[in-house]
Amino acid sequence: MAKGRQQRSRGSGTGERTQSQRNEEVQCSNHDATHRLILSPNGKLSEHWAKASAGCPKTRLVQELGNRNIVQLACGDQHAMALSRGGELFTWGQNTHGQLGVRSQTTLTPKPQLVERLKGVPLAQIAAGGAHSITVSLSGAVYSWGKNSFGQLGLGDTKDRDCPSYVGALEHWKTVFISCGADHTAALSKEGLVCTFGAGGSGQLGHNSTRNELLPRVVAELWGARVSQIACGRQHTLVYVPSLDKFYFFGSGDEGQLEDESKPNQLIPLPINSPVNTGKSCQEKGASKKGMKIIAGVNQSFARCRVENKNSYLNGIATLEDKEVDAWISKSKRWKSIKKNIRLIFSSEACINGSFLDKRDKHFKTSKEVSGIDMSEVKRFYEKISKNQTVYQEVQKQIKNLLPSLSSSPISPENFRVYLILPFLLQGEDGDSLILEMAQAIMKLQPEGLQTLECLWSNLGTSFFRELVILYQRVSKQSVLEFIDRAPDHMFNLGPAETGPLQILQRLYQVNSRTGFRVHESNFYVPEVIEITNLRSWLNLTTVLQNLSKFPCIFDRKSKIHIHITECRALSNVSIIPIIQIPETWDFAVRRQCLLQDTWKNLKSASNQDFRKILRVNFVGEKGLDDGGVSQELFSIAARTLCQPGTGAFCHFASSLVWFPRQASSCEDEDTFLLIGTLCGMALFNQRMVPFPFPRALYKKLLDLAPTLEDLEELLPTAGRSLRRILSEECDSLDLDFTIMEGGDSTDVVELKKNGANIPVTEDNRKEYVDLYVNYIFNKSVQKPFEDFMQGFLRGCPARYWKMFFPEELQVFLQGHTTFDWHLLEKNVVYRQYKKSDQTIRNFWTVFHKLPEEKKKMFLAFLSGSDRITGYVLDHFRFCIEDPQVENPDEVCPYARTCSFILFLPRYSSKKVLKEKLLYAIEHNEGFGLA
C-alpha cells in the first residue's frame, strides 16, 4: 500500500473500500496502485491509470454513472465496485472469476454495469478481495460472488460464482462490517464477534491453523472481546478491541506489515503495539473510539485518528429520517431540494427497503417470516405526509415511476419490504390506481417470491393485516364496478386491472385462513360481483364464471349458491329466460324394493351428457311427480342403505361417522366407490342432499385441502387425543416408533415411513410422526377408494365452480342441516285456507313441539323427503299448511306434497285425533302419490 495516500483514504482488503466524505477527496486503488478511483467531494468519480493505453487515457471521468452520487468504493486486484446513494451497486473491470456479479461471460467489462441481482437490497457496505466481492445489507445479510478457490465466498464449496449468492451460514449473525484479503474474508457482528473464511495458509483466519475454511468460522481467541474494527490485508487480518485499546494481528508478517516486525505467519490473534503513525493510542490523543479507523494493506497496516464529525460522512444509501420528513412537511427547505430528496428515496426500491427499520434490532432477524419493518412508523409517516398534498403527490408520483421496475425474482427477504410499505402509503382513494399497479407487480413475482410475501403478510399485526385486506377489497370493488359499466363487447375480458387486486385479495384470504381467521371473512366480500352474473350470464355465462370462480373469497355464501345453481342450469340448457330454451331432463326410474340395484344400473348405462340433465326420479308403480321431493327421497334412502353395516361399503366408528375401508376390494362390486361418488356428485349438481355421515376431512379432500389433526379428532376422538398428548408431552422418549397398527379385523403393522419400525418417536420428530399418522388415515390407506370416489363425483357433477365453497359449506349442502330451530320453522310457515289463530293450527303446533326430536325429524322427512333441512335455503326453511277441505277430516291422515313443501292438514275435531293421525302419517311416510 502506498504511504502517500494514507491520509486520503481508508482501505479494506487487497485494494480498498472507501466511504465518501462530504469535504474530502477520497481515493481508492488496487494493491499496486496502477489503477485508482478518485471520488470528489461532490460525488463525481474519476478513474486513473499509471500508464495510458490505446484508446484509454490516463485519466477519465466515469461518465457512465451519470449524476449518481457515489457514497462507497471498493477495489480488488483488477475490478472495482461503486455504491450510489440511491442504492445501486455498479462493478467494472476484469471478470475472469465472475467478480463483477453480472452473470456475464465477458472477461473484461471496462464500463460500470449495474449488479441487477442486488437491485432493491438496501446495502450498508461493499468490499472487494483479490478477485471476489462481498456486500452486507443494512439488516446484516451477506452476499458474495467471484473467485472461490479457497472458500472465500463462505458458501461451503470452492466453486466460483458469477452473481451474488446469499451466505446462509451468516444468517442472524447480525453482520455490520466485512473486509476482504486477497483470498480470505472477515465479518464483524454487532455483538463484536469476528468470523473468517477462505484461504488460511498464512494463518490469516486466526484459527491456530493453516487450513482453508469453506464456511464462516468464529475466531475463538477473540470470543468475548467485543471487537469494533476489522481490516484484512493481502494475507493478514487486523482487529481492534476498544475496551482494551489494543490491536490484534494474525497472518503473514513476512513483508513488514507491523511496525514491531511481528513474527511471520501468526496463527492466532495476538496483541501488538498500536499501529498509529504517531505511536500513541487514540485514547491518549483524546479521540473517540468511533473516530479511529484501521487499515490493512499489502505491505503495511496502520490506524488513523480523527475527531468525529457526524455530518462529514455520506457513507450509506439514502433512507427516511424523521428530521428530514419534518422539514418536508414544514417546508423549511426549498421545494427544489425537498423534491430532489423525495425523488432519490421513492424512486429507489433499495432506499424504501432500508427505511422504517425496527429500531430494536429486530430487523437483523429479517427472514421469510420477519420483515424487520416497524409498521407503526410506516403509518406515522403516511399520516404526516398525507396532511401536505404537495409532498404526498410528489411521493405518489415517484412510487408510480418505481412500480413497473420492481424485481420479479428478489434475492433477499429484504426485497419484499417494499410490498408491505407501499400499500400503506397509498391508503387514500386517490391512490387506488397505484394499488392496481402494485397488485400487478406482486403477481409478477415468481411462486417462491409469492410464498415469501404470504409468510410476511401472515406475521403482520392484526390491525395492519385488516387494513391491508380492506384496502384491496375497496380497490377490488371499484374494479368490479368499472367492469360492469363497460361496453358489451368488452364485458367478459377481465384484464389485469380487475384480476390483480382480486388475486391479492384471494391470497390474503388464504393467509387469513391459515392464521386462524384473524379478520372476519365478510371483509373480503365484494357483493357487487353478483351483478355481473345477473346482468350477463344469459349472454356468456361460462366465460364470466371461469373468470370469477378463481376468487371465491369475494363471494358470500348466498352468492356462491347463486353461481353454482346458475352454472348447473346453464349446463342443463336452462335459460334465465325459460321461454327461449326447454331444459333437458333425465328420467331416472327405480323400483323401491330394488333401489340400489336399479340406481347402479342407471348410472352404469348413463352417458356423460345424461349427468348434465335435470334429474327426474320415478319410483315405479307410484304416481309422485318429481319436483325435488322424489329425487331427494332417492338420495336419502340410498345413503341410509349404503351406511348400514351389512353392506360392507364403509368402516364405521364410535364417532358415528363413516370412512373408506383400507381395502376397497372387500365390496362386492369393485365399482362401488365410483358409483357412490357419482351419486354424491349428482346430488350436488341437482341441489339435493345425500346424507352420508362423512367427516369434514372428505370435503377438504374434495377441495384439494389437506386434512389435519383436528379432522382426525373428529373421526377418531381417542386416537386424536392421544396424538395431541404426544405433541405436548415433555420427554425425550415416547416409547413409540414410526408404525401404526391397523384396526378392525386386521392386525397388520404398517410403517409410516421407510424403516419406520426402527425409528423411535422423539421430541424432535414427534410432529412428523403425527403428520404421517394423519396422512396415513386420510390419504395413504384409502388412496384407491377415494380416487374412485373422486372420479365418480366429477362425473356426477359436471359443474366445476362448486370448488368455490369452503369445506364446511360443501358438507352442509350435501349432508344438510342436522340441528334445527323448530320455533323458527313455525315462524316461517305460510297458511292456505287457514289462519294462524285457527284451533287446528294451534293444536298442531302444541302437538308438534311436544314430540321427541326423532319424531320431529320424521315429520321433516314426511314433508320434504329428508329428515334434514337443505343448506341451500340458508337461514330459513319455509313450508305451507293447507286445508284439504275433505268431508270427514277425522277419517283422513295428513299428507304432503314433498316437491312443493305443502302439508295438507284436515280440520280435526280434537288435539287427540290430530296427534294420532299425524304420528301414523310420519311413521308410514315412504311412497308417493298425487295430491
Alpha helix positions (H), 550-657: 557-571, 595-605, 629-642
Crossing angle of the two packed helices 417-425 and 432-443, in degrees rounded to 10? 160
Of 476, 482, 484, 545, whose CA–CA distance to 509 is shortest?
476
Strands 902-904 and 895-897: antiparallel
Of 544, 531, 474, 461, whose CA–CA distance to 504 is shortest?
474
Element (H, E) at 832: strand 830-832
What residue type is assigned to position 99 of the chain?
A: Q
Residue 647 near residue 639 (C-beta atoms within 8 A):
no
Supply the DSSP string of 533-552, one letter for each residue.
HHHHHHHHHHHHHHHHTT-G
Sheet (strand 902-904) strand order = 830-832, 880-882, 902-904, 895-897
Alpha helix positions (H), 626-765: 629-642, 672-685, 696-702, 709-715, 717-728
Q: For residue 902, list its beta bridge partners.
A: 880, 897
Query: If 0-12 CB within 10 Å is exposed, 13-18 middle and 19+ buried, where does residue 922 land?
Result: buried
Strands 132-137 and 142-146: antiparallel
Element (H, E) at 782: none
| Cα–Cα distance for residue pair 442/446, rounded to 1 Å | 9
Q: For residue 134, list its beta bridge partners.
A: 127, 144
| Cα–Cα distance for residue pair 414/456, rounded to 1 Å | 11
Tally of CA atoms within 13 A in the half-sphere of 791 that contains its CB: 11
| Cα–Cα distance for residue pair 349/535, rounded to 1 Å | 43
Query: If 0-12 CB within 10 Å is exposed, 13-18 middle and 19+ buried, where does residue 836 land?
Result: exposed
Cell 302437538, residue located:
847
**Terminal-residue alpha carbon distance, the chain:** 108
| Cα–Cα distance for residue pair 860/879, rounded to 1 Å | 10
| Cα–Cα distance for residue pair 785/68, rounded to 1 Å | 66
| Cα–Cα distance for residue pair 552/162, rounded to 1 Å | 44
Cell representation of residue 382: 403516511
| Cα–Cα distance for residue pair 814/687, rounded to 1 Å | 8
Residue 412 near residue 122 (C-beta atoms within 8 A):
no
Supply the DSSP string of 223-245, one letter for each residue.
TTS---EEEE-SSEEEEEETTTT
The two most distant CA atoms of the chain are separated, in Å, by 127
Report how far Cα 187 is from the mean position of its chain's Cα atoms.
32
Residue 207 near residue 237 (C-beta atoms within 8 A):
no
| Cα–Cα distance for residue pair 719/639, rounded to 1 Å | 27
| Cα–Cα distance for residue pair 336/680, rounded to 1 Å | 70
Active site residue 163: no
Q: Where are the beta strands (DSSP E) in 676-813?
A: 733-737, 739-741, 749-751, 760-762
Name residues whose C-beta falls within 8 Å of residue 141's C-beta, 6 or more positions apart in sequence: 121, 166, 170, 171, 175, 366, 412, 413, 414
Of 577, 530, 579, whose CA–CA distance to 551 is shortest?
530
Catalytic residue among 195, 455, 568, 899: 899
Cα dihedral across residues 482, 485, 490, 491: positive or negative: positive
What residue type is assigned to position 576 of the chain?
A: I
The residues that are catalytic are: 899
